[in-house]
Amino acid sequence: MIDPSGAPRLRVAVIGVGRVGSVLGAALARAGHFVAAGVGVSDTSLRRAERMLPDVPLLPADEAAALADLVLITVPDDQLAGLVQGLARTQTWRPGQLAVHTSGANGIDVFAPAAELGVVGMALHPVMTFAGREEDLLRLTDAAWGVTSPEEFRPVAETLVIELGGEPVWVPEASRARYHAALSMGSNHLVTLVNDAADVLRESGVDNPRRLLTPLLVASLDNALRLGDDALTGPVARGDSRTVDKHVHALAGTRYLNPYLAMAIRTLQRAQAAGRLTQQQCQELIAVIEAAEDIEGDG
């Protein structure tokens, strides 16, 4: 929490003042910490830093990190390891510093070169999307964060998240990639599914796909989150192989066939595990799907 004296608790360097870094830097400042420096290169980042982190100097990464008690790293995932190693090679890291990254897929192993120099690494992943604007600060309130840190520093990591208005959710180091894969399935793949459904409707002559999909998808998502597999509906969950066969022929020769079949198989597996399908229904559905797999899709 904020020091009762009113003095800022930590000097912060934000390496990567993009959509995430600029917002989290502003949130840390709001929580009573002092943002001593930022790092940004592109014109967009410079403008964003000017808006979200006014009066914060932008410096090279090694100079910024050298000023900080807490180094917040919000660079793209493929740059993270190289940055940590580079700061180690230049002897920028110092014992007792806190280093935080916001990558979902990475844990704290990526901080190994810094940890050898006495730095405490933490992975704090906010489970939300960022636009790099002031409204993101409001969205941080009650947002969930995937937290991974050395066990003895878990209270520190969780306190940082709470200071930012979030709710810490512990993620074991060994589960970090699986955790992120699950979020990608639930969010990124959901967007793809929704847009594919809209495209199929549009290509079928429906003028306003959103009008059809919005109430259906909102209800489906709500039911899935509340009811689990009890929310399964549709021809696969009912064992209606004839309707599935009609779908297959309607989508034959399009880019949508293979994704449809992949989700039909997974829905069949879940419905079967939930006791929703008889053995005969499963066999009939499998026969339709196997026959469909021989149909050439368009990409």
* Cα–Cα distance measured from residue 122 to residue 107, given in angstroms and rounded to the nearest whole number: 8
Phi, psi angle pair for 100, to nearest 5°:
-125, 130
Q: Tell me the two tokens of residue 284.
A: 């009939």
Instruction: Please list the alpha-helical segments (H only) found in the chain.
Output: 19-30, 43-52, 61-66, 77-89, 112-115, 135-139, 154-163, 176-186, 188-203, 209-227, 235-238, 241-251, 257-273, 279-292
Segments making up each domain of the chain, as ranges = 11-174, 186-292
Q: What is the pLDDT of residue 298?
A: 52
Q: What is the pLDDT of residue 133?
A: 87
* Cα–Cα distance measured from residue 154 to residue 134, given in angstroms and rounded to the nearest whole number: 29
Q: Tell me the two tokens of residue 261.
A: 């079949």
Q: Which residue is listed with tokens 């410096």?
A: 59
* Cα–Cα distance measured from residue 99 to residue 122, given in angstroms and rounded to the nearest whole number: 6
* Cα–Cα distance measured from residue 53 to residue 191, given in angstroms and rounded to the nearest whole number: 31
Domain range 11-174, CATH class: alpha beta
DSSP state of 297: P
Q: What is the pLDDT of residue 296?
A: 59
pLDDT in tens, the chain (299 residues): 344 444 458 999 999 999 999 999 999 999 999 999 999 988 888 888 899 999 999 999 999 999 999 999 999 999 999 999 999 999 999 999 999 999 999 999 999 999 999 999 999 999 998 888 889 999 999 899 999 999 999 999 999 999 999 999 999 999 999 999 999 999 999 999 999 999 999 999 999 999 999 999 999 999 999 999 999 999 999 999 999 999 999 999 999 999 999 999 999 999 999 999 999 999 999 999 999 988 755 54
DSSP state of 108: S
- Measure Cα distances from 52 to 24, 26, 55, 160, 197 in Å: 9, 6, 10, 20, 37
- Comparing CA positions, the residue from 274, 271, 293 lying closest to residue 282 is 271
